[in-house]
Homo-oligomer: A and B are copies of this chain.
Amino acid sequence: MIKASIIGATGYVGIELIRLLQKHPRVELNELVSNSRAGSKLIDVYPQFRGSQVADYYLKDLSEFEVKDNDIIFTALPHGVSQNIVAELFDQGVKIIDLSGDFRYHDTDLYTEWYGIEHNFSELACKAVYGLSEFNRSAIKKASLVANPGCYVTASLLALLPLVNFSKADLSSIIIDAKSGVSGAGKSLKQDLLFTESYNTMKAYSPGTHRHSSEIEYILNRFLEQSYFQSEFGSEFLALHNFNSANNQKATVLFTPHLVPVKRGIFATIYLKLNAESSKEELTELYNSFYETEKFIQLIPDSLPELKYVAGSNYVQLGFRYNKRTDQVIILSALDNMLKGAAGQAVQNMNIMFNLAEETGLEATALFP
């Protein structure tokens, strides 16, 4: 059994990790750390765990936590806070999957530019492996520290990365119009997250300037810099896809997130210009070459994604339309922000790290109706 602990166990991502790991057939949940609720019984904070294997767990303070009993630690903490704790854990030689934004950039100056926070562990950041499971397996397998991508970025990259290998794609023209359920904002007490403020309404926020623009762009461009792949984004991948990065482009992304009144889910509508005529068939073949054998990616060129078909599952639905009239591609990507967008992908990465079948503990079908 893999001994696992969660630091930041009472945030929404934390409890989603608990929900998944308590049923994972190869995991033994060790400690649940939550400084804000230390000393409480888990079920007094989250009654839904009554009747489960963790019903008797108490939440601990980080100061009481011992690294040595663990094979892996999940850190589900706010960015800025996470880097210090991760660095300390890392020094004690345990595997870590970090769900914050702190280790997603090797270039920590870029991190500082977009997050407005100093990064004190640039060297460690360069050792972190980007945890987009489907594109980085070989590196994840060997990783000590995985930087788990967020929900917006996962939805966007899974839709866009195949196009990086498509010479007709104009990567300077990417527009991502993303819609998020409210749980993605976490449980902090902000007025605009109140039911009365966010029910029966919707809005955009940070149009064009949200920090996840930079993460999407950064990862796309790391893919485009082919040399990079050798070291991290796997060589097996390059071989498989006969990757060409044809036109020495640099990807530019305009990203606008929206808040919609649903609980779970990211729905991304992505627009991209083509340099030459294409076809549904050509695009289907392109996407198939990446995703045909992927367990969690449902390519549905003949229908359209919808949140209700993925919420509660680790699946991603990907649809697209080639618009001949304007020579554009519209890609639609839907996933559950708590699962494939956070805790689910983290468990998927853990499975990769421990040589388990990738879907272990992640087999749930979406909860519909």
A194-B195, A195-B199 given. 16 additional CB < 8 A pairs? A50-B309, A175-B328, A200-B262, A200-B264, A201-B306, A201-B307, A202-B267, A202-B306, A203-B305, A204-B269, A204-B305, A205-B304, A208-B323, A258-B267, A264-B369, A271-B271
Shortest Cβ distance from A300 into B: residue = B47
Copies of this chain per assembly: 4
Nearest 4 A/B pairs, CB to CB: A201-B308, A189-B189, A208-B323, A203-B306
Are B321 and A202 in touch, CB under 8 angstroms? Answer: no
Can you name 14 A-B pairs with beta carbons within 8 Å? A15-B368, A47-B298, A48-B310, A51-B365, A179-B258, A179-B260, A182-B194, A183-B369, A189-B194, A193-B196, A203-B306, A208-B328, A209-B323, A261-B262
Task: List residues 33-58 of chain A with CB under 8 A from any CB of chain B.
Answer: 46-52
A22 interface residue per 8 A CB criterion: yes
A296 within 8 A of B: yes
A317 an interface residue at 8 Å Cβ cutoff? yes
Interface check A158, CB cutoff 8 A: no
Q: Which residues of B contact A317 (CB under 8 A)?
A: 47, 50
Query: A311 → chain B, closest Cβ, in Å?
Result: 7
B369 touches A202 (CB 8 A): no
Per a CB cutoff under 8 Å, which of B202, B264, B309 touches A262?
B202
Residues of chain A in range 292-319 having any CB-CB distance to chain B below 8 Å:
295-296, 298, 300, 303-313, 315, 317
Task: Kindly state the separation between the CA atoms of A203 and B326 in the bound complex, as whole angstroms.
Answer: 22
- Given A263-B196, A323-B208, is A191 in contact with B187 using a C-beta cutoff of 8 Å? yes
A interface size (C-beta, 8 A)? 85
Report the Cα distance A296→B52, complex, angstroms: 10
Known: A195-B193, A196-B187, A295-B51. A332 touches B23 (CB 8 A): no
| Interface presence of A238 (CB below 8 A) | no
Q: Is the CB of A19 closer than 8 A to any CB of chain B?
A: yes
Say yes or no: A365 contacts B194, CB within 8 Å: no
A367 to B295, CA, bound (A): 22
Verify A330–B254 contact, CB threshold 8 A.
yes
